[in-house]
Amino acid sequence: MTEKSFRLYPYRWVVLAVFMFINITIQMLWITYAPITSLAAAFYGVTDLQIGMLSMVFMIAFIPLSMPVSWAIDTYGFRWTVGIGAVLMGIFGVLRGVVGTDYTIVLISTIGIAVAQPFLLNAWTKVPAQWFSTDERATAVGLVTLASLVGTALGMVLTPILVETMSIANIQLLYGGIAAFSAVLFLIFAREKPATPPCPPGQEVRVLMLDGLKNALKVKEFWFYLFVSFIGLGLFNGITTWVEAIIRPRGFTPTDAGALGALMLVGGVIGAVVIPPFSDKQHKRKLYLLLGFALAIPGLVGLTFGLTHGVLFVSAFSMGFFLVSANPVGMQYAAEITYPTPEGTSNGLIQLFGQASVVFVYLMEALKSADGSFTPALLVAIGLMVVSIILITQMHDPKIPE
């Protein structure tokens, strides 16, 4: 009786697809200025740091909004809550293109897009929990991670190419139009949940958010993972934000920066697709978190010291593959280790700590040497990765409810 009391619906893939699409477009809007930092600074007549702020504001806005948005997702459901974020993204994405020649108005529009981001990111585990079985959820989160990386990769690769034939303002209008289209598709096709639960009776029940928050914060291993996610996402956001500035002192161009960032993201896309299914099948999270962080370090070393295209590109791909593959596994780990805390709450806390890594992004710029080299900051990052590995060894795989 128990085995036949739940079922999976094919429509879950439609819901996941439209959710993935809006995550693609918001990442394009986030990263669009990073590979053309020097060109954008000249276009607007501002400094590199002010252009970096167009990326960092996403992380800054996330900090006060993350937990209220998580509460809304858990209370009112993801469809309407994420829908609000998608609409905000579309409106301010288009507006940024329309007023795209004035830095101040562009910054204000970017803040509007940044406000939308937690509505999308904090539902990464909620959508799979509503539609997918426990054996598919890390895989589903991996696919959403993939979508996020594809969006970042597209912004990295397309922007340096488009800027050769289009103004920066028109590029923003193009991206904003795509974002608005993705929002419309989400509003039309997204559904809150299927007619029957996708898991055995009882597994879908979660406590209220405040009780869940108290429960999560009592779990020592959850605190360990919050720190690990802070370092992992901080490193990823830092490199993608400053990618051109990192390699510029070594004689590389904005096009090289776009290619390097794209290869790191392509590696991440492949890692996010390949690794989580193994974790799901074996019901092992710790092993794949440990492998992801440990094997990302050689790539980070290559990015720190590489002087040739070959070394930089191979290092970027390798680091992306291993570091990013740990993200969906870790998010599902957090959802399981804190059960019965709502998925939106645990996901929101992880995303909050990850976006708080804006401090890490700012310190990377502050720690660069007099000649503009980011080597000191990257060496600190390597040390923090080692600390993360030590913490992962203290974690244990969660018990999956029967």
| DSSP 8-state secondary structure symbol assigned to residue 4 | G
CB 351 within 8 A of CB 232: no
Alpha helix positions (H), 32-125: 37-44, 48-76, 78-98, 103-121
- Does 214 score more than 70 pLDDT? no
Note the pLDDT tens digit of each residue in 269-321.
788 788 878 887 777 788 888 888 999 999 889 888 877 888 888 988 998 89
- pLDDT over 70 at 208, yes or no: no
Q: CB-based contacts of 127: which residues, under 8 Å, 6+ apart?
A: 15, 16, 19, 78, 140, 144
* CA neighbor of 178 nearest in space, from 14, 16, 28: 28
Q: What is the pLDDT of residue 207?
A: 40
User: Is 369 a residue whose pLDDT tops 80?
Assistant: no
Give this prediction's pTM.
Answer: 0.70
Instruction: Using the CB atoms, write b or e for 358-394: b if 16+ within 10 Å.
Output: bebbbbbbebbeeeebbeebbeebeebbeebbebbee
Pick 35 or 112 by higher pLDDT.
112
Q: Where are the domains of the chain?
A: 8-392
Best mean pLDDT range from 143-157, 175-189, 253-267: 175-189
Nearest to 329 by CA among 99, 128, 62, 137: 137
Question: Mean pLDDT throughout 243-267?
Answer: 80
CATH homologous superfamily, domain 8-392: MFS general substrate transporter like domains (1.20.1250.20)
Listing DSSP states for 138-204 in one string gives: HHHHHHHHHHHHHHHHHHHHHHHHHTTTS-HHHHHHHHHHHHHHHHHHHHHH--S--SS-SSSTTTT
pLDDT value at 202 more than 60: no
* 8 Å CB contact between 388 and 228: yes
Residue 185 pLDDT grade (very low, low, confident, very high; cuts 50, 70, 90): very high
- Whether 203 shows a pLDDT value over 60: the answer reads no
Residues 6+ apart with CB under 8 A from 383: none
pLDDT tens for residues 376-393? 888 888 898 999 999 998
Is the pLDDT at 4 greater than 60? The verdict is no
C-alpha R_g of the chain:
20
% the chain with pLDDT above 70? 89
For Cα atoms 92, 158, 351, give the angle at the middle one, nearest 5 degrees: 55
- CA–CA distance, 235 with 87 (Å, rounded to integer): 30
